[in-house]
Every structure is written in C-alpha cells, then in structure tokens.
Amino acid sequence: MPIFGDTTSGPDEFPASGDRALLDRYAITENGTADSISVYAGASSTSGANWKGLIYTDSAGAPGSLVAASASAAVSGPGWVTMNFSGSPALTTGNYWIGVVADNYQASYGEDASGTAPDVVMANGTLSFSSPPSTWPGTDASYAVGLNVYVTYTAGGGGAAVAVLLHQLRTQGIA
C-alpha cells in the first residue's frame, strides 16, 4: 500500500500529555482513502498511554478541518504505533496535517531533530483525545522538527473530493 509522511524513527522525542496534539504537514500525490496512521513512540516511552491518529486539511499553511480521527491504540513502549481508520476517509491530492493526540503522559512522540517548513504545530491540552474537534483548536507553539508519522492509504477514487466534503459536513452536524 502507498504511504505519505515520514517513515523514519528519529532520535529525538517530544513528551506527550493529555489532550496534547502534534501535527506535521505532508503531501499526498494522488487521490485515495486512508487506511491507517503510524506514529513513532520515542525511546523513553512506557506503557499506559493511548493515542489517536489525526488527519486535518491544510488551510493556507495551517491545520484546518478534521478529515479523520483513528481508533485509539495503546502504546506499549518505544516503536511504531499503528492506528486504524474506519469508514475509509477520502483524501485528495494535496497537503494534509497528520499527527497524534494522547490521553496522558507515559509516552513520547518520536521526531527528527530538524524539519522542513512549515514547522510541527502543537495544540497543548486543547485538542480532546476523547472527541477530536472538527476544526483545529489553534496552535499553542510550533517547532522546527519533523514528526515521525505516516499514513497508509489505498490509491484511487475519483470522487474523493465529494467524500471529503460530505465527511466534513457530517462532522459539523450539517449533513
């Protein structure tokens, strides 16, 4: 299956905390549907935390509307944590903000010491783990690092733009 994002397991890490989300922007080069998202848990990670993967649209270089939040997955220590999406969220060619939100602090998000613009953005305690908001709650800080996160997707689907719009309307209670 094709992927977009960063498949490296960087040597640095950023501490997770309840309702703290980190996102990084990556481009997908074809239409598709999201299957899963994987985030690297840094070397100091211990068991006890749960994560959800997130995909937000790009809105003029910043996170915009929620496309999908994954099912939660338990972090058992350092290594890749893979979380599945339900409903085959549609993706169209372009930029997306992908990342993770935690329910508590026992694990750290893996990252590279440097990243490319735009920077990784953080919502610090303002993005609900239990119910991720339909729009990005705002950036509390940004960092010039690279978040170790990637999305696995199924290529294809010419009607993906309509499906993305319909999903966004449903998450806002309009459709």
Chain segment 15-56, per-residue pLDDT in tens: 999 999 999 999 999 999 999 999 999 999 999 999 999 999
Q: How many CA atoms lie within 13 A of 131 on its CB side?
A: 2
Task: Indicate if the pLDDT at residue 160 is higher than 80.
Answer: no
Q: How many domains does the chain have?
A: 1
* Domain with 39 in it: 3-171
Question: To which residue do tokens 């339909």 refer?
Answer: 134
Single-letter code of the amino acid located at 107? A
Q: How far lies 5's CA from each of 13, 53, 126, 164, in Å?
A: 17, 13, 24, 19
**pLDDT value for 113:** 83
State if pTM tops 0.85: yes
- Tell me: pLDDT of 165 over 70: no
Domain of 45, CATH number, reads 2.60.120.820
Residues near 117 by Cβ (< 8 Å), separated by ≥ 6? none
d(C-alpha 77, C-alpha 107), whole Å: 7
Q: Mean pLDDT, to the nearest integer, of 72-88? A: 96
| Rounded CA separation 41/82 (Å) | 10
- Tell me which amino acid residue 168 is: Q
Helix extents (H) in the chain: 160-171
What number is the average pLDDT over the span 134-141?
97
What single-letter DSSP state applies at residue 44?
T
